[in-house]
């Protein structure tokens, strides 16, 4: 059975990589198979780990067990969730605003205070914190701290559109572009590393697991 699995995986891998030559029916078959299986798997898992424990079981228990009558409260979010399907009717489509409003309200309430703390306050503190212990930093660390402040100020200047980008503002924003380019270059290099990793793993599988199982 394991050998069969290896053969299926190897053939599908080759089907996918055949796209590197040109688009072809083998590639499309493997692509459609992947999409179909992924959607099917996600639906089953969502039913088992989402619908059954959070919707079906509480109501079933409320019906069968007198001590679990509070489970009927689950009907409120279920009904609210069902309003998402109102979008399918042009006359009742406005009803979708209620679940969206609730979701937006809850998400904003949970997210905004924590996100401000995580991505604004902590980052600002991290940018200026090295200056509070400048006496104990090495020359390399001091250079890094200075570069970081220059990078933050110049990059923010580039995205500051309330002032015309002329004179010193223009120079600052140009330096900001340079920092952005370095950032994008780093991200691109790391992306290449990630894609190469995928290729290496697949080639390793084909050579060691598949061809290795034949000979």
Binding mask 22-61 for other proteins (x = CB under 8 A): ----------------x--xx--xx--xx--x--------
- Tell me the C-alpha distance between 81 and 77, whole Å: 6
Tell me if 208 contacts other proteins by CB under 8 A: yes
Tell me if 20 contacts other proteins by CB under 8 A: yes
Among 93, 103, 122, 181, binds other proteins (CB under 8 A): 122
How many other CB atoms are found less than 10 A from the CB of residue 154? 19
- Tell me the C-alpha distance between 115 and 19, whole Å: 42
Does residue 202 contact residue 211 with C-beta atoms inside 8 Å? no
Tell me if 117 contacts other proteins by CB under 8 A: yes
Ramachandran angles phi, psi of 137, nearest 5°: -85, 150
Which of the residues 168 through 187 are near other proteins (CB under 8 A)? 183, 186-187
Q: Which residues contact 19 (CB under 8 A, 6 or more apart)?
A: 27
Does residue 153 contact residue 175 with C-beta atoms inside 8 Å? no
Closest approach, Cβ 90 to other proteins, in A, equals: 30
Binding residues (CB under 8 A) for other proteins: these are: 20-21, 38, 41-42, 45-46, 49-50, 53, 110-111, 114-115, 117-119, 122-123, 125-126, 129, 148, 183, 186-187, 189-194, 196-204, 207-208
């Amino acid at each position: 059975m394991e050998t069969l699995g290896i053969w299926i995986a190897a053939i599908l891998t080759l089907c996918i990589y055949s796209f590197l030559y040109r688009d072809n029916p083998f590639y499309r078959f493997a692509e459609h198979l992947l999409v179909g299986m992924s959607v099917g798997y996600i639906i089953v898992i969502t039913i088992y780990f989402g619908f059954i424990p959070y919707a079906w079981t509480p109501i079933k228990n409320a019906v069968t067990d007198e001590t679990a009558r509070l489970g009927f409260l689950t009907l409120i979010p279920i009904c609210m969730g069902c309003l998402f399907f109102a979008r399918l009717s042009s006359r009742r489509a406005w009803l979708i605003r209620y679940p969206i409003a609730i979701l937006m309200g809850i998400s904003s309430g949970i997210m905004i205070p924590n996100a401000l703390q995580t991505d604004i306050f902590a980052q600002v503190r991290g940018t200026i914190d090295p200056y509070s212990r400048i006496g104990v930093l090495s020359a390399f660390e001091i250079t890094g701290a200075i570069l970081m402040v220059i990078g933050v100020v110049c990059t923010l200047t580039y995205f500051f559109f309330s002032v015309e980008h002329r004179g010193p503002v223009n120079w600052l924003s140009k330096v900001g572009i340079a920092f952005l380019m370095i950032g994008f270059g780093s991200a691109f290099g790391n992306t290449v590393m990630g894609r190469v990793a995928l290729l290496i793993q697949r080639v390793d599988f084909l050579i060691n697991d598949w061809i290795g199982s034949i000979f």
